[in-house]
Structure 1
Amino acid sequence: MQNLGKADKTTDEIFEDHLLNFNTQQVNATRLHKDINNYLRCIRAMQTANKNLMDTLSEIYEKEWVGQDMLYVQAQNNEMLWADLAHKLADQVVTPLNTYQAQFPEMRKKIDKRGRKLIDFDAERHTVQQMQNNPNRNEAKFIRAKEQMENAKRTYEVLNSELHDELPALYDSRILFLVTNMQTLFAAEEVFHSETSKVYSELEAVVDKLAKEVQKGTLPRRAYNRPLPIANHSAPVIQNSSSMNSPPKATNGGSHKYRGNSPTKDYEMVGMDRDDNYHSSSHVEYNGNGNGNRISRGQYDIPSGKENQHPDEGRIGGLGGSTSIGATTDNLPPGVLYKVKAAYKYQAEDVDELNFEVGEIIQVVEYEDPEEQQEEGWLMGVKESTGQKGLFPANFSRPI
């Protein structure tokens, strides 16, 4: 009837303004609560991600490097700062916000109750007005209707009066709450970023020291013995468990070049008879520098005590047309004797030598110059990756 204009409606413009402010305040509080909680979840996610990152850096930062202890200490400090920030936000920002927001549902219930009591008062007032305009009214009912109207009016006015005081007070409280809440948030962030900047400054200093040591070449390195090539004239050496841990060393400091001659000696050239036994066939000239024998292509120097050894036993690498033990000769390109795989990294020390990394494949080929073919323990090869050709120590590789 009020909506159709058939009944009077009690209006209160001041209350309507208070109600509009209340609705705006509640919407803003709900939005702030949602975003603060989401922010805290992100802080905790970053806390976990940062801890994982620092743990990984601490584990892969080698003990020999400068500042390894400092890196671990600063990683622990950083973890504590993240945990402290998350705790402060949860305890001093989110908890007060939950208390602040909890006021709105209770106030909403009171506002709704005031609206119902206003409708009751307007209905009783409309009934009294109708009975008052009726000359044939029942006086007893009219008196009872007036009493009910007064009761409804008192109930409504009590609630309305309370809300006229409480709504403005609640609306004004938003300022002090936001000031306190935001001060706590910003102060916690300021402390966190100030302290973390110190942590990262220390970490940067650690890395700078490491970089300077690398540039100066003063960084401690693990010592590795360089591998020695196995001379073609000698039998393979069976190494024990301790000697297998060190890589071989190259003869003559890693170079295949000779630096002088030793006294000339004569050795018998040996061949194979029908019973696969060695027999003398000729003499070869031995010219060396004390590090091994220098042997012509197709000739073999048989070490003492190996006279009954098969010619292919103990020969690592090849000279001329010979083939390394365990190497396959199937499906090879023309001119390739066999293939080897680099077991160690080798840095060339002469222009006619090969550089290679561990794992590179090298094709062993014939020597072009018969004089070069006399270099003991060295092979002529072509790197498959680049096509570069040169000499390399045989025992830096393994036959394929």
Structure 2
Amino acid sequence: MAEMGSKGVTAGKIASNVQKKLTRAQEKVLQKLGKADETKDEQFEQCVQNFNKQLTEGTRLQKDLRTYLASVKAMHEASKKLNECLQEVYEPDWPGRDEANKIAENNDLLWMDYHQKLVDQALLTMDTYLGQFPDIKSRIAKRGRKLVDYDSARHHYESLQTAKKKDEAKIAKPVSLLEKAAPQWCQGKLQAHLVAQTNLLRNQAEEELIKAQKVFEEMNVDLQEELPSLWNSRVGFYVNTFQSIAGLEENFHKEMSKLNQNLNDVLIGLEKQHGSNTFTVKAQPRKKSKLFSRLRRKKNSDNAPAKGNKSPSPPDGSPAATPEIRVNHEPEPAGGATPGATLPKSPSQSSLPAVVVETFPATVNGTVEGGSGAGRLDLPPGFMFKVQAQHDYTATDTDELQLKAGDVVLVIPFQNPEEQDEGWLMGVKESDWNQHKELEKCRGVFPENFTERVP
């Protein structure tokens, strides 16, 4: 019997819920069709919009924070592998081996501590912050359903109130057939029964309206207080979260910097003991062949503007300053030069009648170089200016000059300007020119930043 009663209660509850859903659906349809008014609260709707925005921002922040933690873990693993590699290559008889191992161990512990503190002080706080949103979201949805119930009950009660006058009119003036059929004493009882039935329906509708209104208002009042408070709390939460992350990261990098400095000191000690075996980083060599240069230039010209190779840096890391060369195709007469004078051609120029080679005199301290010197027999054809080597340079190809600090080089133009690489000059050492006077055998290219111009 108890089981049958329980099943009956469950069935009744299911039926009641189905009836509520049908009533709500009918009410929503009537509201959308404009046949029933809908209770509106613009202030609450704004609170709901803020709530949804806050939830979206918090969810994104949680996702990005998890990504950050995954990156920290990946960096920890990479750092651990790197330290393990160092421990493997660090031979037992080298000084500082124990210190290097201790540093690697502390490095691993520091990464673990950093990751755990991020979880405790940022991620867990983030999870707690977002944990309150599902319940509030559910209550907002329930408030919406209760508002539909309230509107439905209100409309039902209003419809009964409207029909009250019609019913009273019918009761006051009975149908003629009923008057004829019923005795006089019975007509009074019939009227009283109809009045009582109408009042009962109206009272039930009023009770349902009051109940629906009470449930809705209780939920509405609570949410009206909670939603603005939750919205305002986001500022303090964001500040605390990012302050925690920034503070943890700052301390982590400070401690990591100390470990790196200690490791650097250990390696410096190893370098001092084995200083003769120090590995020297060499400058990148210049392009090896003119054919390769032309092919690469053609390829670059097909895709993007060509960029020449940069010259090697001097040994001390501070390349000599390169003075500006002012090109003047029509220089003023200087010394014994005559305007319009033709410069003598070099043997290479005379052998290439199809190529027109221009000479670009340089202006230094207000005077024109190359204008008169180019025609003098003691200078090479096309001479532009002099430079002096500030550092030793070891030639890496047959078309390069071997320089010693102090060598003076007479700079001349390239036969084909397209073959000139950025940061490289063509010239002949002054000592070779004075001795041989043979340009073809003595000239070569050299890095400009290894030299300095001289008057």
TM-score with structure 1 length normalisation? 0.53
- Unaligned runs of 5+ residues in structure 1 are 219-400
What's the CA shift for 1:209? 2.8
Distance in 2 separating the partners of 1:90 and 1:122: 48
* SS state at 1:57 partner: helix
Equivalent residue for 2:90, pick from 34, 41, 61 = 61
Aligned twin of 2:130:
101
Cα gap change, 1:17/1:217 in structure 2, threshold over 3 Å: closer, same or farther? closer
Task: Give the alignment of 1:249-328 within 5 angstroms.
Answer: none
Distance in 1 separating the partners of 2:119 and 2:32: 48
Cα deviation code 1:35-59 (max 9, x no counterpart): 1112112212221221122122112
Residue identity opposite 2:166 in structure 1: N
Aligned twin of 1:29:
58
Aligned twin of 1:361:
none
Distance in 1 separating the partners of 2:277 and 2:41: 86
Residue identity opposite 1:54 in structure 2: N
Does 2:137 correspond to 1:83? no
* SS state at 2:34 partner: coil
Residue identity opposite 2:246 in structure 1: F
Aligned twin of 1:324:
none
Distance in 1 separating the partners of 2:244 and 2:128: 16
Task: Give the alignment of 1:1-400 within 5 angstroms.
Answer: 1-134=30-163, 135-137=165-167, 138-216=198-276
What's the CA shift for 1:167? 0.5
Aligned twin of 2:306:
none
Cα gap change, 1:174/1:215 in structure 2, threshold over 3 Å: closer, same or farther? same
Cα gap change, 1:190/1:151 in structure 2, threshold over 3 Å: closer, same or farther? same
Residue identity opposite 2:267 in structure 1: V
Cα deviation code 1:68-100 (max 9, x no counterpart): 122111111111110110110111111111111
Distance in 1 separating the partners of 2:263 and 2:119: 29
Aligned twin of 1:315:
none
Q: How many residues align?
A: 218
Cα deviation code 1:233-284 (max 9, x no counterpart): xxxxxxxxxxxxxxxxxxxxxxxxxxxxxxxxxxxxxxxxxxxxxxxxxxxx
Distance in 2 separating the partners of 1:63 and 1:170: 61
Distance in 2 separating the partners of 1:4 and 1:146: 25
Residue identity opposite 1:107 in structure 2: I
Distance in 2 separating the partners of 1:116 and 1:48: 52
Residue identity opposite 1:29 in structure 2: G
TM-score with structure 2 length normalisation? 0.46
- Unaligned runs of 5+ residues in structure 2 are 1-29, 168-197, 279-455
Residue identity opposite 2:111 in structure 1: W
Cα deviation code 1:157-202 (max 9, x no counterpart): 1100000001011111111212222211111111100110111112
* SS state at 1:8 partner: coil
Larger strand share, 1 or 2: 1
What's the CA shift for 1:206? 2.1
Distance in 1 separating the partners of 2:158 and 2:43: 26
Distance in 1 separating the partners of 2:79 and 2:253: 14
Distance in 1 separating the partners of 2:218 and 2:277: 87
Distance in 1 separating the partners of 2:158 and 2:37: 10
Cα deviation code 1:196-216 (max 9, x no counterpart): 011111212222332333334
Larger helix share, 1 or 2: 2
Distance in 2 separating the partners of 1:85 and 1:120: 53
Cα deviation code 1:306-351 (max 9, x no counterpart): xxxxxxxxxxxxxxxxxxxxxxxxxxxxxxxxxxxxxxxxxxxxxx
* SS state at 1:136 partner: helix
Cα deviation code 1:343-399 (max 9, x no counterpart): xxxxxxxxxxxxxxxxxxxxxxxxxxxxxxxxxxxxxxxxxxxxxxxxxxxxxxxxx
Distance in 1 separating the partners of 2:142 and 2:152: 15
* SS state at 1:2 partner: helix
Cα deviation code 1:19-38 (max 9, x no counterpart): 01100000011111111112
Cα gap change, 1:55/1:110 in structure 2, threshold over 3 Å: closer, same or farther? same
* SS state at 2:94 partner: coil
Distance in 2 separating the partners of 1:105 and 1:24: 14
CA RMSD of aligned residues (A): 1.6
What's the CA shift for 1:217? 6.4
Residue identity opposite 2:205 in structure 1: A
